[in-house]
Amino acid sequence: MRENSQDYRQLFLNAVPLMDVRAPVEFNKGAFPAAINRPLMNDDERRQVGTCYKHSGQQAAIDLGNRLVCGDIKEQRIAQWADFARKHPEGYLYCFRGGLRSQIVQQWLAEAGIDYPRVVGGYKAMRRYLIDSMESTIQSCPMHIVAGLTGTGKTEVIHALGNSLDLEGHAHHRGSSFGRHATAQPVQIDFENALAIEALRVREAGHGQLVLEDEGRMVGSCTVPLELYQTMQTAPLIWLEDSFDNRVGRILGDYVIDMHAEFALLHPDQPEIAFNAFSEHLTGGLLRIRKRLGGERYQSLQAIMQDALEVQRSTGEVHDHRAWIEGLLTHYYDPMYAYQRSGKDERVVFSGDQQAVVEFLQQQAIDNQYKA
């Protein structure tokens, strides 16, 4: 039998499959990217056992749990755990503290002829390890922040580097009023866990310097950890430049073509429903900045957007969307970014197009490793 583990670092670095035996309500509040929920108790069973524990103690709670999870229910859950164990022979199981629940699952699996190890300390210890690891990274790794006007391709730069943290990727949001995806964002703890694991892997690869995209404190509904955000506010800026036409084309690809494709994947046999959802997504994004645009400009851009959507609906052609994108850049995003940059000029250490920026940051990473 493989030994139980508390080598959290290797579990995360190697994306080891994890069977989370906590109740669904616990799992949904926060888990790890490699974890799958196969609970010992469902939410109602957990609630009853918890209440019993408070009033009557541990043994009474264990006895109640055995009465609630027995017979066919017990056999079904053992079958689910056994299936996970067979599919993931290199994996581990865990509960909240690595205690009673994970030990019970281990015991029942052993009685079914399957020895399967658990994570000592459970979810609580693994979560604590990631928090401490992220704090250490923030304190010890210098940062560069990629900034630039909307549509310059900052995310593309992030993806081209081996020492970057992808805030928007982990938040599943592009960071603007139009930044939502067709599917939901992760909960805050899942966002933080995924970010910390990526930082762990960057450090393991030998990088002592981090690159992040310039973001506000909120990326959609996800909050950038405070210490990380505060450090980003004083880090050197790399200013990414691109032509207005290229920026319009990139936004068209990201927010029109790709977003329509996302909704089409959600409704593969219902193109009309998919297009309606996509249309509501675009018009909702514009509505969210209505007050900042002003009533007259909002009405004008909304009319252009609606006309472009009707053309796209009937012909599939997306070129007309360029008009409202150009209007938003000219009258909203570019003035806003120009104002923001006016207070950051002293932090800009390099400016250039995408190739130049990537090469500069790659050289910075090499120099940093050499110094280390």
* Residue range 266-295: mean pLDDT, rounded: 96
Cβ-in-10-Å burial (0-12, 13-18, 19+) of 194 comes to buried
Tell me the pLDDT tens digit for each residue of 333-350. 999 888 777 778 899 999
Percent with pLDDT over 70 in the chain: 99
- Domain boundaries, given as residue ranges, for the chain: 8-127, 141-371
| pLDDT grade for 314, boundaries at 50, 70 and 90 | very high
Q: What is the pLDDT of residue 371?
A: 52
**Residue 104: HSE in the Cβ half-sphere, 13 Å Cα cutoff:** 18
Beta bridge mates, 352: 240
CB 150 within 8 A of CB 337: yes
- In total, the chain counts a number of residues equal to 372
Q: Which amino acid is at 130?
A: L
Active-site residue, selected from the candidate residues 52, 70, 95, 222 = 95
Q: Which residues contact 167 (CB under 8 A, 6 or more apart)?
A: 175, 195, 212, 213, 215, 219, 224
Which strand ranges, in their side-by-side order, compose the sheet holding 164-165? 164-165, 210-213, 143-148, 237-240, 348-352
| Comparison of pLDDT for 31 and 368, the residue scoring more | 31
Q: Average pLDDT over the chain, rounded to whole?
A: 95
CA–CA distance, 372 with 358 (Å, rounded to integer): 21
Q: What is the pLDDT of residue 368?
A: 76
| Comparison of pLDDT for 339 and 98, the residue scoring more | 98
Q: What is the pLDDT of residue 238?
A: 97
CA–CA distance, 106 with 316 (Å, rounded to integer): 55
- Annotated catalytic, 52? no
CA–CA distance, 166 with 187 (Å, rounded to integer): 16
Q: What is the pLDDT of residue 339?
A: 75
pTM, full prediction: 0.94
8-127 fold: Oxidized Rhodanese; domain 1 (3.40.250)
Cβ-in-10-Å burial (0-12, 13-18, 19+) of 174 comes to buried
Q: What is the pLDDT of residue 344?
A: 86
CA–CA distance, 98 with 109 (Å, rounded to integer): 16
Q: Which two tokens stand for residue 372?
A: 């280390």
Q: What is the pLDDT of residue 372?
A: 43
CA–CA distance, 175 with 64 (Å, rounded to integer): 47
| Comparison of pLDDT for 24 and 176, the residue scoring more | 24
